[in-house]
């Protein structure tokens, strides 16, 4: 599916059949610089048991800046919702893709039924922001006003859809405070959410399958130290079923 007339961005869609069913839209990470393969097809595979229609949103083929990033995403989701095969829209966003997912959820809550955010940069607070993502999203001149527009903990309302949040406590790239701040904003607005924070795990865990295991460790060590965190996928599936 192509989006803007002059944009190279697209969605790689896999329809289960012609029957109405939920659509799982996957937004890979990549610091708003690229979209990582580690959070693309492996995620489709991990959620295959749910029988969703799926789509991988390649949103950095054309490096749009804010606000055109979310304006394009809005148009894309409106196209999806108009398809008779789509009964609901679920977003699954990783890292910077999680920021874009949370942007859609807070700016256009009526378009999304629920979201899943994995180690997403949420805030522009100078203590906890992910500088690289922010610069790739806003450009080199980051004003206080523009930063506030993409600090999504400030934009949660009671209309924001239910959200599942996954993070690791010692994430050295996206501080865990991002997850905590978004969860607190959801709590204050009485939005249903689930928050799962694991004590250890490098950024970019993805779904924890062998094909995306941390390259810093042998496969055996990865299994011993981190594979238990794969449970977040099953927990997220359960969350989406009930929301």
Contacts of 54 (CB under 8 A, 6+ apart): 13, 14, 23, 24, 25, 26, 44, 47
For residues 64 and 72, the answer to whether their CB atoms sit within 8 Å is yes
- A 10 A CB-CB count for 172 gives 8
For residues 20 and 85, the answer to whether their CB atoms sit within 8 Å is yes
Domains of the chain are: 10-242 (3.40.50.1820)
Chain segment 5-54, per-residue pLDDT in tens? 569 999 999 999 999 999 999 999 999 999 999 999 999 999 999 999 99
The pLDDT, as a whole number, for residue 2 is 54
Burial 161-170 (b: 16+ CB within 10 A, else e): bbbbbbbbee
Chain segment 156-186, per-residue pLDDT in tens? 999 999 999 999 999 999 999 999 999 999 9
Chain segment 80-104, per-residue pLDDT in tens? 999 999 999 999 999 999 999 999 9
The pLDDT, as a whole number, for residue 101 is 98
Chain segment 133-146, per-residue pLDDT in tens? 999 999 988 899 99
The pLDDT, as a whole number, for residue 6 is 66
CA gyration radius, the chain: 17
* Percentage above 90 pLDDT, the chain: 92
The pLDDT, as a whole number, for residue 5 is 58
The pLDDT, as a whole number, for residue 142 is 87
Give the C-alpha separation, 124 to 121, whole Å. 8
The pLDDT, as a whole number, for residue 124 is 93
The DSSP output letter for 128 is T
In this prediction, residues 210-225 reach a mean pLDDT of: 94
In this prediction, residues 178-200 reach a mean pLDDT of: 98
Mean pLDDT of the chain: 95
The token duo for 119 is 């180690």
The pLDDT, as a whole number, for residue 126 is 85
């Amino acid at each position: 599916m192509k989006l803007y007339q002059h944009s190279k961005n697209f969605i790689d869609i896999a329809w289960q059949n012609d029957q109405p069913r939920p659509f799982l839209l996957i937004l890979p990470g990549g610091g708003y610089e690229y979209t990582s393969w580690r959070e693309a097809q492996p995620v489709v595979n991990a959620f295959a048991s749910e029988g969703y229609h799926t789509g991988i949103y390649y949103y950095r083929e054309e490096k749009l800046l804010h606000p055109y990033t979310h304006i394009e995403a809005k148009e894309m989701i409106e196209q999806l919702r108009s398809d008779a095969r789509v009964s609901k829209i679920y977003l699954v966003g990783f890292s910077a893709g999680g920021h874009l997912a949370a942007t859609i959820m807070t700016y256009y809550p009526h378009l999304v039924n629920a979201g899943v955010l994995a180690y997403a940069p949420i805030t522009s607070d100078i203590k906890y922001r992910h500088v690289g993502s922010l610069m790739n999203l806003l450009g080199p001149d980051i004003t206080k006003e523009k930063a506030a527009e993409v600090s999504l903990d400030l934009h949660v309302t009671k209309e924001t859809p239910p959200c599942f949040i996954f993070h690791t406590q010692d994430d050295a790239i996206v501080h865990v405070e991002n997850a905590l701040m978004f969860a607190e904003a959801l709590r204050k607005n009485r939005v249903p959410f689930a928050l799962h924070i694991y004590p250890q795990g490098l950024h970019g865990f993805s779904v924890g399958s062998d094909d995306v295991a941390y390259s810093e460790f042998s496969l055996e060590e990865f299994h011993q130290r981190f594979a238990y965190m794969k449970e977040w996928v099953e927990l997220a599936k359960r969350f989406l079923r009930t929301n």
